[in-house]
Amino acid sequence: MPGTLYILATPIGNLEDTTFRAVRILGEVDLIAAEDTRHSLKLLNHFGISKPLTSYFDHNQQFKGERILQALRREKSVALISDAGTPCISDPGFNLVRAAVAEGIAVIPIPGPCAAVTALSASGLPSDTFTFAGFPPARQGKRRAFLNAMDHLPGTLLFYEAPHRLEETLRDIREVMGERQVVVARELTKIYEEFIRGTVTDVLSTVAQGKVRGEVVILVAPGEAAQEDAPPLPELLGRLLHDEGLTVKDAAKKAAEMTGVPKNTAYAEALRVRNGGKEC
Ligand code: SAM
């Protein structure tokens, strides 16, 4: 039996966000593969964990991935961690997970912090449907094309961005998507955690004063184009069920297509509307 590969999330700034399970697994595995071993040693030392460490980062992942797979084939268990948050989310890991899955090696996620989800949860922007798009391209032409491709997506858009590119990316968001509501979530879980909310122009005026430093997530509220054609979900479902006489299943399917709301959410809401607003 090959060993197990654990994809283990670590804090995005606050060590108290390490889970009990993460500490236990880190203490049990044979090998820890870390994006930056020196960085991860701080976390491991904090929890008194001493284990063989190896590096696994963007530029050595082909060679190191094979070494890690060899260890897994020899029944060793390996935990993959990144500098912060969940491996594979704008961090190395995908190629290793794909190779392990292809070989039938067990891959077990150990969930924990992720900056995108953390930001979304407290942003105050719609969270039922969202698109996480990682880092926008660094060059303006490509960045604008990238943003343009997302302009009509339903739900909230989430981007990671380097602080020194925040201002130019916000300017491009305004240029391509218009004056939307945005949130810049900064230094999440750390001492200077801050949510800067407002129109793109409002937020740009804060950013342009040079006050925004540290790590940031940009969240963009759904644009009018994504919302304007569809009335609120209960109203739309009421029309489809009562006026058009569709079944719950068909009404939910059509409403999901029209609004971008997930099908299971539309289905649950359709049942509620059919029952006169009562939960089933
Ligand atoms: N794997 C990580 C995760 O699960 O969130 C993301 C790694 S990615 C290389 C780093 C980017 O995540 C940063 O540039 C920033 O956009 C975002 N980020 C990470 N930690 C953050 C924090 N504490 N506050 C705000 N954004 C953060």
Radius of gyration of the chain (CA): 22
Cα 194 to averaged position of ligand 1 atoms, centre (Å): 14
Which atom of ligand 1 is closest in space to residue 119's alpha carbon? 25
Residue range 236-260, pLDDT digits in tens: 899 999 988 999 999 998 887 676 6
3-class DSSP assignment, residue 189:
coil
For the segment 33-73, what is each residue's pLDDT rounded down to a tens digit?
Answer: 999 999 999 999 999 999 999 999 989 988 999 999 999 99
Residue 189 CA, closest ligand 1 atom number = 23
Cα(82) to centroid(ligand 1), Å:
11
Domain ranges of the chain: 4-113, 116-220, 233-274
Q: What is the DSSP letter of 186?
A: E
CA 72–ligand 1 middle distance (angstroms): 28
Span 176-195, average pLDDT: 97
Domain 4-113 has CATH 3.40.1010.10: yes
Task: Tell me 85's DSSP state.
Answer: B
In a mutational test of the pocket of ligand 1, which residue from 15, 35, 215 has the highest number of ligand atoms less than 8 Å from its CB?
215
Q: How far is the CA of 120 from the centre of ligand 1 (A)?
A: 13
Residue of 2, 3, 7 lying closest to 98 (CA atoms):
7
DSSP strand pairing (156-161 vs 216-220): antiparallel
Could you give the angle at the alpha carbon of 162 between the alpha carbons of 158 and 167, nearest 5°?
A: 80
CATH superfamily, domain 116-220, is: Tetrapyrrole methylase, C-terminal domain (3.30.950.10)
CA-CA distance, 40 to 92, in Å (whole number)? 15
- Residues with beta carbon inside 6 Å of ligand 1? 12-13, 82, 84-86, 89-91, 114-116, 160-162, 185-190, 215-217
CA distance 12 to 20: 16
Using alpha carbons, select from 84, 86, 139, 108 the residue that is nearest to residue 25: 108
Atom of ligand 1 nearest to the CA of 116: 5
What's the pLDDT score for residue 256? Answer: 76
Residue 229 has pLDDT above 70, yes or no: no
In this model, does residue 226 exceed pLDDT 60? no
Average pLDDT over residues 169-180: 96
Q: How far apart are CA 34 and CA 225, in angstroms?
A: 42
Task: Please tell me what DSSP assigns to residue 200.
Answer: H
Say what the pTM is.
0.82
- Strands 216-220 and 181-186, bridge-based pairing: antiparallel
Q: Are β-strands 194-199 and 181-186 bridged in parallel, bridged antiparallel, or unpaired?
A: antiparallel
